[in-house]
Amino acid sequence: MTSHYDVIVVGAGSMGMAAGYYLAKEGTKTLLIDAFDPPHSNGSHSGDTRLIRHACGEGFEYVPLAIRAQELWNELQHETTETIFRKTGVVTFGPEDSEFVNQAIAGGKAYSLPIDTFNDGEEINQRWPGINAPEGHFGCYEPEAGVLFSGNCIRTYRKFALECGADLLTNTPVDDLEVFENFVTVQTKDESYTADKLIVSAGAWNSKLLSDLNLDLPLQPSRQTIGWFDSDESLYQSDEFPGFFVDLPTGVYYGFPSFDGTGLKIGRYDAGEDVDPEYMNREFGIYPKDEGDVREFLETFMPQAAGKLNVGKACMFTNTPDENFIIDLHPEHSHVAIAAGFSGHGYKFSSVVGEILSQLATTGTTNQDISLFSATRPSLQKKEARTLQK
């Protein structure tokens, strides 16, 4: 294996593997290094499926990224027989004062996205009999949105990156990073590699790696859980029922229809426990709330999906104080690009983030507006969280 590359990507999960593909596709000599064997269950991409919404309640700045991400996912789907994306639609709802739902509707209208709005819970319930939205709730439905199959996406990017000439090291933790004026050195247990440029996209392990580069970012991994519940297939199968995102004063929930009889999948977005990724307990059910929180939601809002738990899993989010991403060049080293802190809502963007990282690594710029994601923004330096309801 060559020891010097144009670009080394440390962390070949969601964003890193996509970046590796787009780099190699353009003829860039690329090395991808991952501590595990992606796709795997140790990062933030496990759990089989992810929602992609275009009318983003997280803010207007995310909408153009979501649109471009969908274009890239559609291109990837066209090039493979793997199932990358299913257009199930996504419904978002909550009480009338939900800032998230209001922002999603406003973003959809601002960018002329196809979007249906519902003024009360009864309209939502009539559209989908499996939902029991109470009076005083409102929402929107994006018919062009849907579900990404995260493992398939990473496997496909991996296959194409290797076919385009990238090298990949799996089960290879990085011991040390060193940055010099015109090159970088990446040290593993068995070998040292050099490159002109470096991309660091190691998920929950970013803090340790970036500290080697004299960059201290407020990144906090959290333990999150998801479960698949036996459900009425006539109501919740993927041909009939959409993905969903529900913003409540008591919690924020998201979920997926039942694919091939596996049951409705649901997770809670907030209320995860802060963890060290090296020592996180991945056993589902060690806390009563692992199942209890989502079951309580189902019994109230989707009672015909509150059957027995089929499968439960634990995964990780890596959160920033303001819940916005970090996508930037290192403030002291312009030949180092960083992707970090995707705060539980980043997977759907991994195609476009990979494209952005490949552009930053090769040209130092990108055609996307990433000013919101600066590594030196005040909210990171002051470690103050915004109060946006998620």
Among 41-50, 137-146, 227-236, the minimum mean pLDDT is found in 41-50
Q: How confident is the model at residue 146 (pLDDT cuts 50, 70, 90)?
A: very high
Asked if residue 258 and residue 124 are part of one domain, the reply reads yes
Q: Tell me what pLDDT residue 2 has.
A: 72
Question: Domain boundary residue among 294, 319, 344?
Answer: 319
Asked if residue 26 and residue 126 are part of one domain, the reply reads no
Residue 207 lies in a domain: yes
pLDDT tens sequence across 282-316? 999 999 999 999 999 999 999 999 999 999 999 99
Asked if residue 361 and residue 262 are part of one domain, the reply reads no
Residue 8 lies in a domain: yes
Question: Domain boundary residue among 319, 336, 369?
Answer: 319
Residue 243 lies in a domain: yes
Residue 386 has pLDDT above 70, yes or no: no
Residue 159 lies in a domain: yes
Distance CA 326, CA 174 (A): 21
Span 79-107, average pLDDT: 98
Alpha helices in 130-197 (DSSP H): 150-163
pLDDT tens sequence across 327-369? 999 999 999 999 999 999 999 999 999 999 999 999 999 999 9
Q: Tell me what pLDDT residue 1 has.
A: 74
Do residues 348 and 51 lie in contact, with contact meaning Cβ atoms separated by under 8 Å?
yes
- Report the chain's terminal Cα–Cα distance, integer Å: 45
The number of beta carbons lying within 10 Å of the beta carbon of residue 139 is: 27
Percentage of the chain modeled with pLDDT above 70:
97
Question: Domain boundary residue among 300, 319, 338?
Answer: 319
pLDDT tens sequence across 8-67? 999 999 999 999 999 999 999 999 999 999 998 887 776 799 999 999 999 999 999 999
Asked if residue 174 and residue 143 are part of one domain, the reply reads no
**Mean pLDDT for all residues in the chain:** 95
CATH, residue 328: 3.50.50.60
Q: Identify the CA nearest to 342 among candidates 168, 159, 150, 170.
A: 150
Asked if residue 247 and residue 99 are part of one domain, the reply reads yes
Domain housing 36: 4-45+151-217+322-381
Span 178-187, average pLDDT: 97
Q: Tell me what pLDDT residue 384 has.
A: 42
In our burial notation (b when 16+ CB lie closer than 10 A, e otherwise), range 63-89 reads bebbebbbebbeebbeeeeeebbbebb
Residue with tokens 């002109």: 196
Distance CA 81, CA 383 (A): 44
Asked if residue 173 and residue 31 are part of one domain, the reply reads yes
How many domains does the chain divide into? 2
Report which DSSP code applies to 149. Answer: E
Asked if residue 330 and residue 313 are part of one domain, the reply reads no
Residue 378: Cβ-neighbour burial (10 angstroms; 0-12, 13-18, 19+): exposed
